[in-house]
Amino acid sequence: MTVELVVFMLILPYLSTITKSIRFNVESGVTKCIAEDLRINSMTVGEYSVVNPNEGQPLPEHHKIYAGVFAENEKRFHDARGVESGQFGFKVVEDGKHFACFATINHKPAVNTTVDLNWRSGVHTEGWSKVVKKGSLEAMELELKKLEVTTNWIHEEMLYLREREQQMLKQNMKTNSIMGWSSLLSLFLCLSVAGLQVWHLKSFFEKKKII
């Protein structure tokens, strides 16, 4: 249950994010627009860059782009001129289609400029209350609390186990030393008994005048 919850929380931001990653051509003198339907209060972030046709060399002037991002009512959120790459990011203030438009200078003969665009839009925190009902948020909080308690409990358990392990280690060392001493003692006893026996036998045979 808790594992599922954690997984859910980890993937949720990705689920609520729509990513559009595309590569397209912009022909000289022709404006190319990419449309994206955006929700009010969501955050949107875009990155674009020109693919250099001759890698390692500076980008020719006629491959530099003009970029603009607009809402349907032509409100402009981004404006860049003669760039190789750029970024835009804004909070959507109106539901509806938004456009990222790209153009290059009217070069003759016409050439294609390849552009990479990565456009992400996600649910902003303000949108959360609409997406997640209050009840489920509270349930989530409760689960988190439970998780916290469990984590604490596991931590305590770990400490306890570690302490016990150390105690056992100490005990083991004690036992080991006792074992060592006792084996030494038994060896000593064996030797002395053997010595006594030898001494006893010797005196016995001496008495019998055998030796």
Ligand X SMILES: *[C@@H]1O[C@H](CO)[C@@H](O)[C@H](O)[C@H]1NC(C)=O
* DSSP assigned state of 95: S
Span of 33-41, 89-97, 104-112, 123-131 interacting with ligand X by CB under 6 A = 104-112
- Please report how close the Cβ of residue 86 comes to ligand X at its closest, in angstroms: 21
25 lines the binding site for ligand X (CB under 6 A): yes
Q: Please answer whether residues 22 and 34 qualify as being in contact, where contact means their C-beta atoms are separated by less than 8 angstroms.
A: yes
Span of 108-116, 121-129, 174-182, 198-206 interacting with ligand X by CB under 6 A = 108-116
CB-based contacts of 64, cutoff 8 Å, min separation 6 = 50, 82, 83, 84, 104, 105
112 lines the binding site for ligand X (CB under 6 A): yes
Distance of CA 102 to the CA centre of its chain: 35
Binder of ligand X out of 59, 111, 144, 147 (CB under 6 A): 111
- Please report how close the Cβ of residue 114 comes to ligand X at its closest, in angstroms: 9
| Cβ nearer to ligand X, comparing 11 with 110 | 110
- Please report how close the Cβ of residue 146 comes to ligand X at its closest, in angstroms: 55
DSSP 72-125: TT--EEEEEEEESEEEEEEE--SSEEEEEEEE----SS--EEEEEEEEEEE--H
- Please report how close the Cβ of residue 91 comes to ligand X at its closest, in angstroms: 33
3-class SS of residue 10? helix
Residue at 46: amino acid letter: G
Question: Is the bond preceding 53 in cis, omega lying within 30 degrees of 0?
Answer: no
27 lines the binding site for ligand X (CB under 6 A): yes
192 lines the binding site for ligand X (CB under 6 A): no
- Please report how close the Cβ of residue 27 comes to ligand X at its closest, in angstroms: 5
Interface positions with ligand X (CB under 6 A): 25, 27, 110-112
